[in-house]
């Protein structure tokens, strides 16, 4: 059998590649410490599994009582005592029979041991050959575990964790299994790190687009529509309308041609494109339109690329015509499970700022560089300043075989080389990742982070030599022979839904002036000031600004608070002095008082801020 040092070293391979090894071991060890404390508090509790997760760990128990806040406090205090005991984490290899003897009263561990002997992991998934069975012990607690862990509990900070809640969870995530008690905890290297994390959690809650969407009257989710189909309210629809105009204007100036294509097509289109074999799980079921099954089956489109290919094919193309840049604010439909949809960030119907560029091979690099330049310009206007680039590739050749991607090694190598060279020649820092490509080709993904540091893809650029071949696309070259174009897929500002949700959280609902659903709120103090407010509203609206005048009979301070709460950039107070001077008293949404300004001076300032798309409310002199 292996030595303890060899077993500990072997456990290191189970640390996910993007996980800080020190944090992983710390959290895994704290999960065992929590399990010891829980079993001491509730001797009838049966431990199951307790892995590290993104910000901490959880541990599931078969437990027939609901722990109270007092119980959780007792468990946390007991954990601190265990930590101070400086107990070593010891590991040893055991046979399956020895393991069954150790855990004879724990049916969950017995099931795990049976799975390990059959080449399965702790979740019941196939993992290859039978695994070495190991047990870890600290103090009096023994657990079936592959590791890794810290050396002793002295390596843990007794102030670096917090038990957050206890929820229900089915064993192995299957609803036909028994409901367990899941203890959730966040864990960090120090008390200061824990405090910083909890502050990020609080800030993320303050910026949550679902919360702000309700408070700012941007969107709503009506049960009658079904999960994943949010309804944009007038203010949210205004943001979307402005975003659509913003990006289509940039595209038009960059030589894009905009089209409208159907949201639905015959299933044969998606068989030809490959979406049905590779993407069927994310597509809505067929709609049978013919009299006989399969005669005329229609399906909601999951992507627009097959439709834009039909635009390209609508007439013969010459090498002189290329590049052809086809763009559309295209509606797409994804069959997401109810449990994962929510707000605007995960929806079942979305509108993508989509485009497909049909180019000669010698134009690929230049066109992708142009897309990157367009994206950076759009991001600057939207206030998006922190992002990084990922070259997303197909399956890792050192990993298990994958049927997720089109089987054409030469094509993958060629397309990946194209994108890598563009990034290198653009001087943009990037990193590469396996298993992140589209099924038909590699991508440049633009990765952004939220307040919690979670990374997601906001924009993408894809090099595709597969679909042009599937659809036999051609252009007549200078030598009068038919050649195959390369297809570039790109979404500069993502879907309208995803971008809106991201911007809500990025700006905490306080949008730049040019994007704010209401740019100016007028607050007349009394009834005698209403006519002035109405006239000024008409003037600003005619100048294409978005204005609301509060002509209610509420108190002035309440009106100002209401406008600030709705994060309106400019709040204009109108009283006797302002009317006499044809002026307004200008307040900003953050409470800054700019004092009285002549109307023409304020309008000039508003026009300058709006036209420049600056993030500032007061422009530089």
- Four-residue CA torsion sign, 222, 565, 247, 437: negative
Residue 127 has pLDDT above 90, yes or no: no
Q: How confident is the model at residue 450 (pLDDT cuts 50, 70, 90)?
A: confident
- Residue whose C-alpha is closest to residue 355's, from 334, 336, 370: 370
Q: How confident is the model at residue 330 (pLDDT cuts 50, 70, 90)?
A: very high
Report pLDDT for 281. 87
Sequential DSSP letters for 492-537: EEEEHHHHHHHHHHHTTT---TTT-S--EEEEESSGGGHHHHHHHH
Residue 113 has pLDDT above 80, yes or no: yes
Q: How confident is the model at residue 439 (pLDDT cuts 50, 70, 90)?
A: confident
pLDDT in tens, 505-517: 999 999 999 999 9
pLDDT (mean) for 86-98: 97
pLDDT (mean) for 192-210: 95
Domains assigned to the chain = 4-203 (3.30.980.10), 230-264+301-506 (3.30.930.10), 520-612 (3.40.50.800)
Q: How confident is the model at residue 403 (pLDDT cuts 50, 70, 90)?
A: confident
Whole-number Cα distances in Å, 218 to 230, 245, 323, 344, 428: 10, 18, 39, 10, 36
pLDDT (mean) for 452-480: 93
Largest CA distance in the chain: 94
Q: Is 266 exposed, middle or buried (0-12, 13-18, 19+ CB in 10 A)?
A: middle
pLDDT in tens, 47-81: 999 999 999 999 999 999 999 999 999 999 999 99
Report pLDDT for 481. 96
Cα angle 135, 141, 142; round to 5: 20
Among 204-213, 333-342, 347-356, 484-493, the minimum mean pLDDT is found in 333-342
The CA distance from 307 to 310, in Å, is: 5
Does residue 395 contact residue 435 with C-beta atoms inside 8 Å?
A: yes
Does residue 508 contact residue 206 with C-beta atoms inside 8 Å?
A: yes
pLDDT (mean) for 228-249: 97
Does residue 515 contact residue 243 with C-beta atoms inside 8 Å?
A: yes
The CA distance from 283 to 277, in Å, is: 11
Cα angle 259, 437, 52; round to 5: 125
Q: Beta strands 570-574 and 520-524: pairing type?
A: parallel
Radius of gyration, alpha carbons of the chain = 30
Residue 620 has pLDDT above 90, yes or no: no
The mean of the pLDDT values for the chain is 94
pLDDT in tens, 549-598: 999 999 999 999 999 999 999 999 999 999 999 999 999 999 999 999 99
pLDDT (mean) for 98-114: 96
Report pLDDT for 467. 94
Report pLDDT for 339. 75
Residue 128 has pLDDT above 80, yes or no: no
Does residue 373 contact residue 325 with C-beta atoms inside 8 Å?
A: no
Q: How confident is the model at residue 279 (pLDDT cuts 50, 70, 90)?
A: confident
Report pLDDT for 518. 98
Q: Edge to edge, what strands does the sheet with 179-187 contain?
A: 46-47, 56-62, 179-187, 161-170
DSSP letter for 285, please: P
């Amino acid at each position: 059998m292996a030595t303890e040092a060899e077993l500990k070293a072997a456990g290191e391979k189970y640390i996910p590649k993007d996980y800080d090894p020190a944090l992983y071991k710390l959290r895994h060890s704290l999960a065992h410490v929590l399990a010891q404390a829980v079993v001491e508090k509730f001797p009838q509790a049966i431990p199951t599994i307790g892995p590290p997760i993104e910000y901490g760990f959880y541990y599931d128990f078969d437990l027939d009582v609901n722990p109270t806040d007092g119980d959780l406090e007792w468990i946390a205090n007991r954990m601190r005592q265990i930590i101070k005991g400086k107990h070593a984490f010891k590991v040893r290899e055991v046979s399956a029979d020895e393991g069954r003897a150790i855990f004879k009263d724990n049916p969950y561990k017995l099931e795990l041991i049976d799975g390990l002997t059959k080449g399965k992991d702790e979740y019941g998934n196939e993992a290859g050959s039978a695994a070495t069975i190991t047990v870890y012990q600290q103090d009096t607690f023994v657990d079936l575990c592959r590791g890794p862990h810290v050396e002793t509990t002295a390596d843990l900070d007794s102030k670096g964790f917090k038990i957050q809640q206890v929820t229900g969870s089915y064993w192995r995530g299957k609803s036909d299994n028994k409901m367990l008690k899941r203890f959730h905890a966040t864990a960090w290297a120090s008390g200061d790190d824990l405090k910083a994390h909890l502050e990020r959690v609080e800030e993320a809650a303050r910026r949550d687009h679902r919360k702000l969407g309700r408070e700012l009257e941007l969107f709503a989710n009506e049960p009658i529509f079904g999960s994943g189909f949010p309804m944009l309210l007038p203010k949210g629809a205004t943001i979307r309308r402005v975003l659509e105009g913003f990006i289509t204007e940039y595209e038009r100036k960059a030589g894009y041609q905009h089209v409208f294509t159907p949201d639905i097509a015959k299933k044969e289109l998606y068989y030809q494109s490959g979406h049905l074999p590779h993407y069927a799980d994310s597509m809505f079921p067929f709609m049978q339109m013919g009299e006989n099954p399969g005669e005329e089956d229609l399906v909601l489109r999951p992507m627009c690329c097959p439709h834009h290919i039909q635009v390209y094919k609508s007439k013969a193309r010459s090498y002189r015509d290329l590049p052809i840049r086809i763009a559309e604010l295209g509606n797409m439909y994804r069959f997401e499970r109810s449990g994962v949809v929510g707000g605007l960030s995960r929806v079942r119907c979305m509108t993508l700022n989509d485009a497909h560029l049909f180019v000669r091979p010698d134009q690929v690099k230049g066109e992708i560089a142009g897309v990157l330049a367009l994206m950076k310009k759009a991001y600057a206007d939207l206030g998006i300043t922190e992002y990084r680039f990922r070259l997303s590739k197909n399956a890792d050749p050192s990993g298990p075989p994958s049927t997720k991607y089109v089987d054409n090694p030469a094509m993958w190598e060629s397309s990946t080389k194209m994108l890598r060279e563009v990034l290198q020649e653009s001087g943009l820092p990037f990193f590469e990742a396996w298993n992140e490509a589209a099924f038909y080709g590699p991508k440049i993904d633009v990765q952004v982070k939220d307040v919690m540091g979670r990374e997601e893809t906001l924009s993408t650029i894809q090099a595709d030599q597969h679909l042009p071949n599937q659809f036999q696309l051609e252009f007549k070259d200078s030598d009068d022979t038919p050649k195959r174009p390369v297809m570039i897929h790109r979404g500069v500002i993502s879907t309208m839904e995803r971008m809106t949700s991201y911007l809500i959280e990025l700006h905490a609902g306080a949008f730049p002036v040019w994007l704010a659903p209401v740019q100016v709120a007028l607050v007349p103090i009394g009834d005698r000031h209403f006519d002035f407010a109405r006239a000024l509203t008409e003037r600003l609206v005619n100048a294409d600004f978005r204005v609301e005048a509060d002509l209610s009979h509420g108190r002035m301070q309440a009106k100002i608070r209401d406008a600030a709460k709705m994060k309106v950039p400019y709040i204009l107070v109108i009283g006797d002095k302002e009317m006499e001077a044809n002026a307004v008293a200008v307040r900003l949404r953050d409470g800054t008082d700019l004092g009285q300004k002549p109307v023409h001076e304020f309008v000039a300032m508003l026009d300058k801020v709006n036209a420049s798309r600056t993030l500032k409310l007061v422009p530089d002199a």
